[in-house]
Amino acid sequence: MTLMLKNYARDQWFEAGSGLSDIISAVDGSVVARTGTDGLDFAAMLHHARDVGSANLRKMTIHERANMVKGLAGAIMERKEELYALSTATGATRGDSWIDIEGGAGTLFTMSSKARRELPDDVILTDGDFEPIGRKGTFIGQHVYTSLQGAAVHINAFNFPVWGMLEKLGPTLIGGVAAIVKPATQGAQLAEACVRIMIESGLLPEGALQLIVGNVGDLFDHLTCQDVVSFTGSAATAAKLKNHPVVMRESVRFVAEQDSLNASILGPDSGPGTEEFDLFVKEVAREMTTKAGQKCTAIRRTLVPAAFLDDVQEAIKARLAKVVVGDPAAEGVTMGALASLRQLHDVRDKAREIATEAQLVFGDIDTVEPLGAEAAKGAFISPLLFRLDDPWSAKVVHDVEAFGPVSTLMPYKDVEDAIALANRGMGSLALSVFTYDPAIARRFILGAAAFHGRIVLIDRDCARESTGHGSPLPMLIHGGPGRAGGGEEMGGVRGIKHYMQRSALQGSPRTLSAIVNKWLPGAPQPSGAVHPFRMTFGELEIGYTLFTAPRTITLEDIEHFAHFTGDTFYAHMDEEAAAANPFFPGRVAHGYLILSFAAGLFVDPAPGPVLANYGLENLRFLKPAPAGTAIKVALTVKSKAMRKPGEYGEVKWAVTVTDQDGEVVATYDLLTMNAV
């Protein structure tokens, strides 16, 4: 059955009646879907995203958006088999589709979790600590992030129709910006089905998500400085879009993740017989054949010590010989087809270019016998392993990427030579190094990190948990310099900030505290008759402060603490030695004694809303406290974040310990969980 794909524009499904394109099965050449965008009003879609979708998202807090994204991931997982059923026609095996479908949902789950754990339940993010400006502390600075008031245009590649969409969508929605998604036409049936699942979940506010299944018409002509374009694909297409006159004139944010000539390096210490050698061979073969090599992170250049070149070649060939190419639905098939016949022709053409410099040592560029399918109808190709004995004499292998199951094996002389060869790709998304020698690993990092967005160091210790060379992770940046596009998709909260504007605020502590919903030093510290530990999470107000009575530290206290804890460090027990230390006036109180006495001053011991003290942050001891020092504490509500609605939230308290002269002895942030 041929599907008629629809666009989702201004919260309505829209089917183009003309200008349709066929989506062809990668397995048997049949038409699986038709798609087009004739009749869409692209300017209106952008206005709807900005004025309705993004406006609705900005009314939600970051935690509310993150919970929405978690719900979307759950909805996709509940209906994942619908997506698996459509995925076979793209040439993907079940394992390939798992990366795309469940990996995409997993990315949303992770982004949601990190946002709820690391970001405030607010609409403004602070970036770093406040900056003191005036000498008296009445004029300060604070960097903040706020959501852009535009739309995000996502242009995705054909290789991962679901994951490629969701890796962008999660950070965008959490950042408070509505998205217009444009998948590659090949595989668009998967993206359209996934969008349907998300729309039908009922979790998205009006205007938050729109879908274009075909060309984008004059969409770029209507972009503004508040919009973002996030692109995945070839360098040539990225350059064309990035240089669009409106993108340049309006300084539209452009995030690019481009295909690159990624490399994997076998360390000089990892010869035949070592665990790292076996891990390396397995990884190269896996990266060549997973998704039929159609991964932007796949290993295109395989670098090994010259002495191991023959051994590696034979070992990789032995693994590739076990690969079964064919219909992904057929039992026993381990590598499916390329995404389309067009892609097949492109990979073959690029492989022939590589063959002008390198020797083909495994596979056949033009011939393959797929299991359960007709070679003439599907986009099937054999894994292709090339060998190049003199990599410095070559150009094509360092410049041309065959976006399929193709890799070139090359020798290197020493670590510096390997680094130079890896860097000759002029920027990549991923580099992997297989070594058990930390000193060698450090040399690779120092020499190569500037050219590679992610470096995976794999050895026997981490291999079982390693996600491998080619797996981007939502908590780490996905991008790279140079040829890789210079972008950084994902990366935890970094990815969210792509869709926010950083601004520098200047003003009084009182004003800035009110804006960021966080107490800043110098802001008012109102106090009252009620101890803050008697107040629920909802009753506590930012800035509310308890000022304690003083307590004098005695020499007996210091000695008792030393013997009780076993901490008899000379600064606390030896007057002469302590006085000789330029930091101390003589014997001084332990830092942890100060913390303990501070807690004794501000804690209200009876059961109440405070459920748990679960940590200290940013602890600093600023002034020694010798015997006779009278310390007192200011305990201030610094910030609040709901952790489990209806049950409890996190309260961050600013704790300032001062002496009898009003000088600061210690500061830290106390974290508690408080009942609502």
Q: Which two three-digit tokens encode residue 393?
A: 């004499």
Q: Which residues pair with 33 in a beta bridge?
A: 3, 23
Confidence band of 486 (pLDDT split at 50, 70, 90): confident
Confidence band of 222 (pLDDT split at 50, 70, 90): very high
- Give the residue carrying structure tokens 């008629």: 4
Q: What is the mean pLDDT of residues 356-381?
A: 94
Domains in the chain (CATH in brackets) are 3-120+150-256 (3.40.605.10), 263-468 (3.40.309.10), 525-675 (3.10.129.10)
Q: What is the mean pLDDT of residues 211-239?
A: 93
Count Cβ atoms below 10 Å from residue 30 Cβ, excluding itself.
Answer: 11
Q: How far apart are CA 402 and CA 408, in angstroms?
A: 10
Q: Which two three-digit tokens encode residue 333?
A: 């098939």
Closest CA to 159 of 473, 379, 387, 480: 379
Closest CA to 408 of 419, 422, 420: 422
Q: How far apart are CA 321 and CA 490, in angstroms?
A: 36
One-letter amino acid identity for 239? A
Q: How far apart are CA 55 and CA 403, in angstroms?
A: 40
Instruction: Assess whether pLDDT exceeds 90 at residue 563.
Output: yes
Instruction: Assess whether pLDDT exceeds 90 at residue 643.
Output: no
Instruction: Assess whether pLDDT exceeds 90 at residue 508.
Output: yes
Distances (CA, A) of 202 to 72, 195, 205, 210, 572: 9, 12, 8, 14, 64
Going by C-beta distance under 8 Å and a sequence separation of 6 or more, which residues neighbour residue 183? 156, 158, 161, 164, 165, 190, 191, 192, 211, 213
What pLDDT, in 10s, does the model give residues 129-169? 999 998 899 999 999 999 999 999 999 988 889 999 999 99
Identify the pLDDT of residue 271.
Answer: 94
Identify the pLDDT of residue 236.
Answer: 86
Is-contact 46 9, C-beta < 8 A? no
**Long-range residue pairs from 197-203, CB within 8 A, at least 24 positions apart, any chain:** 197/75, 197/76, 197/79, 197/82, 197/83, 198/72, 198/75, 198/76, 199/8, 200/75, 201/71, 201/72, 201/75, 203/68, 203/71, 203/72, 203/75
Confidence band of 19 (pLDDT split at 50, 70, 90): confident
Query: Is 194 among the catalytic positions?
Result: no
Q: What is the 3-state secondary structure (H, E, C) of 369-436?
A: CCECCCCCCCCCCCCEEEECCCHHHCCHHHHCCCCCCEEEEEEECCHHHHHHHHHCCCCEEEEEEECC
Q: How far apart are CA 579 and CA 464, in angstroms?
A: 54
Is-contact 665 551, C-beta < 8 A? no
Closest CA to 430 of 274, 265, 575: 265
What pLDDT, in 10s, does the model give residues 104-124? 999 999 999 999 999 999 999
Confidence band of 327 (pLDDT split at 50, 70, 90): very high
Positive/negative CA dihedral, 425, 429, 431, 432: negative
Instruction: Assess whether pLDDT exceeds 80 at residue 1.
Output: no
Query: Is 357 among the catalytic positions?
Result: no
Is-contact 548 633, C-beta < 8 A? yes
Instruction: Assess whether pLDDT exceeds 90 at residue 380.
Output: yes
One-letter amino acid identity for 175? G
For residues 275-306, one letter each, b for 16 or more C-beta atoms within 10 angstroms of the residue's C-beta and e for the rest, the string is ebbbbbbebbbebbbbbbbbbbbbbbbbbbbe
Is-contact 235 259, C-beta < 8 A? yes
Spot the catalytic one: 192, 257, 283, 287: 257
Identify the pLDDT of residue 209.
Answer: 98
Q: How far apart are CA 543 and CA 553, in angstroms?
A: 28
Q: What is the mean pLDDT of residues 423-427?
A: 92
Confidence band of 77 (pLDDT split at 50, 70, 90): very high
One-letter amino acid identity for 138? T
Describe the chain by its helix, strand, coil percentages, rounded to 5. 35, 25, 40
**CB-count exposure of residue 438 (10 Å: 0-12, 13-18, 19+):** exposed
Edge-to-edge, what's the strand order for the sheet holding 228-233? 12-14, 7-9, 209-211, 178-182, 151-155, 228-233, 253-258
pTM of the model: 0.90
Confidence band of 485 (pLDDT split at 50, 70, 90): confident
Identify the pLDDT of residue 489.
Answer: 83
Spot the catalytic one: 283, 296, 401, 488: 296
Q: Which two three-digit tokens encode residue 180?
A: 């217009």
Confidence band of 548 (pLDDT split at 50, 70, 90): very high
Q: What is the mean pLDDT of residues 554-570?
A: 95
Closest CA to 163 of 109, 204, 217, 200: 109
Q: Which two three-digit tokens encode residue 225?
A: 């400085």
Identify the pLDDT of residue 644.
Answer: 86
Is-contact 257 485, C-beta < 8 A? yes
Q: How far apart are CA 363 and CA 384, in angstroms?
A: 5
- Quote the mean pLDDT of the chain: 94
Edge-to-edge, what's the strand order for the sheet holding 31-35? 3-4, 31-35, 21-24
Q: Please give the sequence-ordered ranges of beta strands (E in DSSP) within 103-221, or none if there are none.
A: 125-132, 140-147, 151-155, 178-182, 209-211
What pLDDT, in 10s, does the model give residues 162-195? 999 999 999 999 999 999 999 999 999 999 999 9
